[in-house]
Structure 1
Amino acid sequence: MSTLFILLLSCSVASPVKHSLKYFLTAASGTPNIPEFVGAAVVDEVQVGYCDSNIKRAEPKQDWIKKLIKADPQHLEWYALKCSGNQQVFRANINGLMERLNQTRGVHILQRMNGCDWDDETGEVVGFNQYGYDGEDFIALDLETLTWVAPKPQAVITKLRWDSEKARLEYNKNYYIHKCPDWLKKYVHFGKSFLQRTDLPSVSLLQKTPSSPVSCHATGFYPDKADLFWRKDGEQLHEDVDHGEILPNKDGTFQMRVDLKLSSVRPEDWSRYDCVFQLSGVKNHIVTKLDKDQIRTNWGGDPQFPVAAVIGAVVGLLLLAACISGLFIWRKKNNGFRPVNISDRSDTNVTVEENTPGATTSGEK
């Protein structure tokens, strides 16, 4: 669960313009096989730190992060305090939410994601801080108006209380506009060779059954700024194709697929079709012709079809989403990570909505 993201291969360097620092926190109730609290730090979609309620410590996940910690030992301690403090706050909050909503059993998830984006070309910084409960938005901070937005009636009490905490709002503004991008720039500096590399994928044609669509599957590419599509006579197809999402691999690279329905393809026209992979910053595209001899199948016990690999990737994705990124079946955005100081809280016994996004968690005090 906690083993993620190591370097697979390196190619030519392409420097992305936008960088992101995201923190994901999740508290889970009714999930015996998943830690009740999980936290992860992610830089440019690469996990750099992890903690959960089982291991009870913060763990760096990249060699370059370990070098940063060696130069600044307090950095890891900072994350450790953040992990333990947030665990206590989130446990109290999810219990309070369940009680308030008359939920006595079942699986329930409380999530937080915050952090910042930084454009290293324009200097633009965008901060964000959001909470979700059971897969739906709960409350979010609007940094332009310095007010909280409550899309759910259950969060209105929280909004009113937090809108009145002016000092805390100003602290948050300073964190997301100044401190968070400062951390992000430091991470990008230390991890430059890793984060700004370009990895090209292996591309395969896969088919489950003779009547199934043909999947053009690309895996092992980095960064995730890529496109994959089918063409006919050099023109991109928009009909009879199904585009999958870009998904993370365990080693920090990515995979994606695009399916072509063969019912629309006449046998004599196969040579007119090809699959094209494009990676941002790379001029040469990978083109794979639609060729029956190149399709890897799993019918008739054909061992060439990588069923285990595909299933493993899906399982890995679910574990990543559920345990590392905090079950973010919600909305993928950014997330910030700050130490919790429980002693600073004067409202630990109030209703959950009033302390769910605890003032001292992930960039808040």
Structure 2
Amino acid sequence: MKLCVVVLLLLIHNAAAVLHTSRNFYTASSEVPNFPEFVAVGYVDDVQIDHYDSNTQRAEPKQDWMNKVTVEDPQYWEEQTQRGLNAQQGFKVNIETLKQRFNQTGGVHIVQRMYGCDWDDETGEVKGYDQHGYDGEDFISFDLQSLSWVAAKQQAFITKMKLDKDKAQLARWKNDLTQQCPDWLKKFVSYGQSTLKRTVFPSVSLLQKSPSSPVTCHASGFYPNRIMLFWARDGEEVHEGVEPGVSLPNHDGTFQRSVHLDLSSVPPADWEKYECVFKISGAQKPTVTKLERERIRTNRGRGGGGGDGEGEFPVGPVIGAVLGAAVLILVLVLGGVYFRKRQNQGFKRASTTDMSSSSKESSSSDLIPRSKLSTK
């Protein structure tokens, strides 16, 4: 019965089909020391595929299999470089435009864009996204349902009004998000299928810093990042006293994630009722790790015992998680993910720019790009 409950739980978790994602992150910054003024990065299924920044001024592949694109389009990387240069120039003007709108002068400021799509290779369903932000907050976004722009700030209303008037351009944006983006995403998934469609299972450890600390279930070395990691009691998922973590990148392209369980109100005799469940989307069986004292690695040794050091709390994963978090934050800043994440939308891939403005501002400082996806 217990196993049936866990399987049912996993089926519920897996109700949403596996998606392939195309994500572009564009970021322009001002007065950030030792940082490029403009950075563009692209991801497919959480794997970085390209990079451009204002220092190198070159679009470059980040995966060997991305060079396959030149078989169909020999000028692909030259075209991407030109798009990067155009975006760089547009974003530089954008910061000045936004500083005017927010009555700002100097200081650190960041303009961001997230642009791209999700493609379900089972149902064929496609979802597109186009979100823009300024200094860590939403500014304006494109609504595919109404084919209109949604202003998140009063200062964005000028942009919304101008863009909503151009019906032909709204139709082109819809085509970019629902046709071009998934078409290129399918190609990229085909090019990199040996990497993107591989499955790597993690090592799972139970960690506890001190007897009063939560017990952490730490999974590291898994791919893809479409996974579930949760605590269960008697086969049913536990929410009370549980603090889930986020996936962090490892240096080898795999991921790590932790989930913490507070056992301070749980009688010791009931510990054996708990287990940590790891499941990769699409995999047949979950990895179930029972909560047994002798398996917990602590500062005092395995299971709280004293001491040969074999089972001591592993500083490697902890340091790796900290460094991974630092790397992730850097990627998110560079990639333009410092928006407040919406519950119903992920952060998606971006493109070149060319912004919209008020009558007092130069037409070259449009806050929204009118060009196509960076993937063509």
Task: Normalising by structure 2, report the TM-score.
Answer: 0.82
Q: Which residue of 2 aligns with 1:6?
A: none
Deviation track 1:260-297 (CA, whole Å, cap 9, x = no partner) reads 11312333333332211111111222122223333233
Deviation track 1:136-178 (CA, whole Å, cap 9, x = no partner) reads 2211222333322212110111111112223322322222222
| 1:321 lines up with 2:335 in the alignment | no
Deviation track 1:60-82 (CA, whole Å, cap 9, x = no partner) reads 11121123335533121222112
Cα distance in 1 for partners of 2:356, 2:212 equals 61
Q: Which residue of 2 aligns with 1:39?
A: 40
| 1:337 lines up with 2:347 in the alignment | no
Cα distance in 2 for partners of 1:348, 1:310 equals 49
Q: Which residue of 1 aligns with 2:64?
A: 63
Aligned CA distance change for structure 1 residues 330 and 238 (closer, same or farther; 3 Å): closer
SS at 2:117's partner residue?
Answer: strand
Alignment of 1:11-26 (within 5 A): 17-26=18-27
Q: Which residue of 2 aligns with 1:312?
A: 323
SS at 1:127's partner residue?
Answer: strand
Matched positions, count? 346
Q: Which residue of 2 aligns with 1:12?
A: none
SS at 1:154's partner residue?
Answer: helix
What is the deviation of 1:96? 1.7
What is the deviation of 1:362? 4.3
Cα distance in 2 for partners of 1:159, 1:353 equals 16
What amino acid is aligned across from residue 165 of structure 2 in structure 1? S
Cα distance in 2 for partners of 1:238, 1:100 equals 44
Q: Report the more deviating stretch, 113-122 or 67-76.
A: 67-76
Aligned CA distance change for structure 1 residues 305 and 288 (closer, same or farther; 3 Å): farther
Aligned CA distance change for structure 1 residues 274 and 109 (closer, same or farther; 3 Å): same
Aligned CA distance change for structure 1 residues 185 and 129 (closer, same or farther; 3 Å): same
Contact 2:52 2:84 in 1 (8 A): yes
Q: Report the more deviating stretch, 313-322 or 261-270.
A: 261-270
Aligned CA distance change for structure 1 residues 272 and 118 (closer, same or farther; 3 Å): closer
What is the deviation of 1:364? 12
Contact 2:109 2:134 in 1 (8 A): yes
What amino acid is aligned across from residue 67 of structure 2 in structure 1? K
Aligned CA distance change for structure 1 residues 147 and 91 (closer, same or farther; 3 Å): same
What amino acid is aligned across from residue 54 of structure 2 in structure 1? S
Contact 1:82 1:362 in 2 (8 A): no
Q: Which residue of 2 aligns with 1:350?
A: 361
Aligned CA distance change for structure 1 residues 349 and 118 (closer, same or farther; 3 Å): farther
Aligned CA distance change for structure 1 residues 253 and 143 (closer, same or farther; 3 Å): same
Cα distance in 1 for partners of 2:140, 2:269 equals 56
Contact 1:231 1:275 in 2 (8 A): yes
Aligned CA distance change for structure 1 residues 250 and 134 (closer, same or farther; 3 Å): farther
| 1:89 lines up with 2:100 in the alignment | no
Cα distance in 1 for partners of 2:131, 2:116 equals 9
Task: Normalising by structure 1, report the TM-score.
Answer: 0.85
What is the deviation of 1:111? 0.7
Contact 2:184 2:375 in 1 (8 A): no
Alignment of 1:182-221 (within 5 A): 182-221=183-222
Gaps of 5+ in 1: 1-15
Question: Relative contact order, CA 8 A, sep 6+: which one is greater?
Answer: 1
| 1:73 lines up with 2:87 in the alignment | no
SS at 2:259's partner residue?
Answer: strand
Cα distance in 1 for partners of 2:336, 2:201 equals 29
**RMSD after superposition:** 2.9
SS at 1:155's partner residue?
Answer: helix
What is the deviation of 1:329? 4.1
Q: Which residue of 2 aligns with 1:11?
A: none
Cα distance in 2 for partners of 1:33, 1:208 equals 37
What is the deviation of 1:248? 3.4
Alignment of 1:179-258 (within 5 A): 179-258=180-259
What is the deviation of 1:349? 8.2
Cα distance in 2 for partners of 1:31, 1:330 equals 21
Contact 2:356 2:367 in 1 (8 A): no
Q: Which residue of 1 aligns with 2:3?
A: none
Q: Which residue of 2 aligns with 1:360?
A: 371
Aligned CA distance change for structure 1 residues 290 and 61 (closer, same or farther; 3 Å): same
Aligned CA distance change for structure 1 residues 364 and 350 (closer, same or farther; 3 Å): farther
What is the deviation of 1:351? 5.8
Percent sequence identity over aligned pairs: 49
Cα distance in 2 for partners of 1:167, 1:241 equals 49
SS at 2:239's partner residue?
Answer: coil
Q: Which residue of 1 aligns with 2:30?
A: 29
SS at 1:356's partner residue?
Answer: coil
Aligned CA distance change for structure 1 residues 135 and 86 (closer, same or farther; 3 Å): same
Contact 2:151 2:160 in 1 (8 A): yes
